[in-house]
Amino acid sequence: MGRLFPIKKYRFIRRDIDGNAINTFSMGGLDLTANVVCKPCNEGWMSDIESKYAQPAMEALIIGGKTDFTISKARAKAIALFAFKTAVVIDHMGGDPPLL
């Protein structure tokens, strides 16, 4: 989905639970790999979630400009699927879980 954003250089800051910066780095795109899943999963079903479901469902929301955009049940399901997959990957990246 990085192609939808006009910015060509991004600065990333990974923070701990208290908001303190753990590390900072820059990249020329939004193509990050968390290295917490195997290559076949990352390039297979996880990639399909983004390209076949999330990108078509979120592209109009990211680009903007449409005033009559409706989030259908299918779009909401695609966004939720992408959000859940992303949350699981982030959780597996490590760090202390927040106290509830």
E strands along 1-100, which residues? Answer: 10-15, 21-27
Total domains in the fold of the chain: 1
Residue 25 domain flag: yes
Q: Which domain covers residue 71, as residue numbers?
A: 6-92
Residue 97 domain flag: no
Place of tokens 């910066």: 21
Residue 55 domain flag: yes
The predicted pLDDT at position 100 comes to 47
Residue 61 domain flag: yes
Place of tokens 């208290």: 18
Place of tokens 């020329």: 28
Residues 82 and 46: their CA atoms lie apart, in Å, by 9
Residue 69 domain flag: yes
Residues 51 and 8: their CA atoms lie apart, in Å, by 20
pLDDT tens, position by position, for the chain (100 residues)? 666 776 778 888 888 888 888 888 887 776 666 778 888 988 999 989 989 999 999 888 888 777 677 889 999 999 999 999 988 888 887 765 554 4
Residue 13 domain flag: yes
List the end-to-end C-alpha distance of the chain, in Å, as a whole number.
32
